[in-house]
Amino acid sequence: MDRLAAVVLAAGLGTRMKSEKAKCLHRAAGMPLIWYPVKAAFDAGAEKVVIVVGHQREAVQAEVSRLFPERAIEFVVQERQLGTAHATVCAADSVAGYDSAVFINGDLPLLTGKTVTSLRPSPTSDLEPLVGPTGSDGPRRRPNDRRPGAHIA
């Protein structure tokens, strides 16, 4: 089987939660939300798990390290929260060299390793990557977003 890496996106502000606490640290069924996608990634056989952190990164890193003390997890910092596409780009170098990578939101308590496994293309699959490098013309701006740096990959 190919070498799998997983990126868990956990840098967002979580403004819809109306809480000072980072969204991925809120609990569901007794566990922080971040536990579910990280566990699912490992259950799916990810050799490497990268977590993109930003808002309250020290608290998120401490909690993940407490939850998975025996696992090597890399943390990548998204200094400015410019959206999901930008967080994905922040982690791209960390998963270079792997045969496939899955990008997972950090707040999915119903995600399982089986679901992550089902996202992996089979050796006979003609599926194109869901997230890939930008074309030769470089990144494109989101149609309605005029902020500097508001590009999609």
Please write down the HEC assignment for all residues of the chain: CCCEEEEEEECCCCHHHCCCCCHHHCEECCEECCHHHHHHHHHCCCCEEEEEEECEHHHHHHHHHHHCCCCCEEEEECCCCCCHHHHHHHHHHHHCCCCEEEEEECCCCCCCHHHHHHHCCCCCCCCCCCCCCCCCCCCEECCCCCCCCCEEC
Q: Which residue has the higher pLDDT, 52 or 141?
A: 52
For residues 117-126, average pLDDT: 68
Of 10-19, 28-37, 77-86, 132-141, which gets the smallest average pLDDT? 132-141
Active site residue: 3, 16, 27, 57, which one?
16
Q: Which residue has the higher pLDDT, 147 or 92?
A: 92
Domains in the chain and their CATH numbers? 4-120 (3.90.550.10)
Q: Of all residues in the chain, what percent carry a pLDDT higher than 90?
A: 57
84 pLDDT more than 50: yes
Rounded to the nearest 10 degrees, how much is the dihedral formed by the CA atoms of 60, 54, 35, 63?
Answer: -10
* pLDDT the model gives residue 124: 56
Q: Which residue has the higher pLDDT, 19 or 124?
A: 19
* pLDDT the model gives residue 50: 97
Read off the pTM.
0.79
16 is catalytic: yes
Q: Which residue has the higher pLDDT, 119 or 126?
A: 119
Which amino acid is present at 136?
Answer: S
* pLDDT the model gives residue 121: 65
* pLDDT the model gives residue 151: 43
Distance CA 109, CA 8 (A): 13
